[in-house]
Copies of this chain bind each other. A is one copy, B any other.
Amino acid sequence: MSWEENVRKVIPYTPGEQPKIKNIIKLNTNENPYPPAPAVEEALRNMDADAFRKYPDPGCSRLVNAIADFYKVDKDNVFVGVGSDDVLSMAFLTFFNSNKPVLFPDITYSFYDVWAQLYRIPYEQIPLKSDFTIEPSDYFRENGGIVIANPNAPTGVELSLSAIEEIVKRNPDVVVIVDEAYVDFGGESALPLIDKYDNLLVVQTFSKSRSMAGMRIGYAFGSKKLIGYLSDAKFSFNSYTMNMPSLELGALAIEDRDYFEKTRSMIIKTRERTKEELSKLGFVFADSKTNFIFAMHPDRPGKELFEYLRQHDIIVRRFDLPRISEYLRISIGTDEEMDTLISVLKEII
């Protein structure tokens, strides 16, 4: 026998390409085209590097308090982590210890099945309807937990808050995770439900609407009891997951509400304009409430469009998976970037 027999072998998630070429239009990882709030840049200039010799605050109180203030919740309802991936991964580990399958859609964020496999959690992928919407009643049955990305990725489609509430209400015996990575671009958050349902975890991130993917900051809301269990697991994994710059710069970013409102409005406006242009070109897509559009063209294979754009220095994301291989997931960049995208697409169509 060999040590390799006891290795937890997994097929890891493949993140979107991070090309090192300059002057490329990068519309493949749903990053924000605008910089973080101005206070972030300023704080970097004044940050005390000497402080780095000490451990950061394990309770992350500076950041937790800023989030609690912004969302008008108690700090005991807030959990923070190294991006929403860290938060979600911890939540899978903490809450999904049943022998019954955890349920999530067949087309959704492709990390869910990776985490389930990593932690040996049984799971079942429930097919979305042909229009990429979720049928809530599919989730009214025995299970070990539920995960809904809302709005969903990579489809961009939203499930109504009443449908989310119905799913949470019908499943009091399991934890329901609502992954709201994209909610700030037009979705309705399930946050108001946390007071009513102690089994609901709402997860959000700084990577999209807060323009800070590079800083790795995610957070979650839930009942005090739920957050307590999650914190215990986190403190059993790593006491100090958030470094000093994340805690300080994250807090400053969230404190600037005006900048947040301004930039997310700009992205929503650009998205709506891009939808119109794509429609004119004959593209088909669901009504995205996110900072991306998941589109296909009835006359052109997805692979061909993807490669044509790549040749013209535009990167979008394409998933070579059943049901969605003809689609392109196009992140919303600046108006200029989207104009270039549209004019390149015009050439080929």
A residues neighboring B (CB under 8 Å):
1-16, 18, 26, 29, 31-36, 40-41, 44-45, 47, 49-58, 82-83, 85-86, 89, 93-98, 114-115, 117-118, 144-145, 172-175, 198-199, 207, 211-216, 225, 229, 231-246, 249
Protomer copies = 2
With both beta carbons as reference points, the residue of chain B lying nearest to A45 in the complex is identified as B45
On chain B, the residues within 8 Å of A82 by CB distance are 82, 238, 240-241, 243
On chain B, the residues within 8 Å of A231 by CB distance are 12
A21 CB, min distance to chain B CBs, angstroms: 13
Of A82, A145, A244, most buried by chain B (CB within 10 Å of CB) is A82
Q: A3-B175, A86-B241 are known contacts; what are 5 more A-B pairs with Cβ within 8 Å?
A: A3-B172, A7-B97, A8-B233, A33-B53, A53-B213
On chain B, the residues within 8 Å of A40 by CB distance are 49, 52
Q: Out of B3, B56, B118, B236, which one reaches A173, CB within 8 Å? A: B3
Are A94 and B7 in touch, CB under 8 angstroms?
yes
A41 vs B181: C-alpha distance when bound (angstroms):
33
A97 vs B2: C-alpha distance when bound (angstroms):
12
A34 vs B54: C-alpha distance when bound (angstroms):
10
A-B contacts, 6 of them at CB < 8 A, read A7-B229, A15-B55, A26-B54, A55-B213, A55-B214, A82-B238
Q: Out of B49, B54, B215, B237, which one reaches A243, CB within 8 Å? A: B215
Q: Out of B11, B26, B51, B58, which one reaches A15, CB within 8 Å? A: B58
Are B89 and A237 in touch, CB under 8 angstroms?
yes
With both beta carbons as reference points, the residue of chain B lying nearest to A44 in the complex is identified as B47
Are A240 and B211 in touch, CB under 8 angstroms?
no
Q: Which 7 A-B pairs have the closest CB atoms?
A: A12-B235, A41-B49, A52-B214, A35-B50, A15-B239, A214-B244, A85-B238
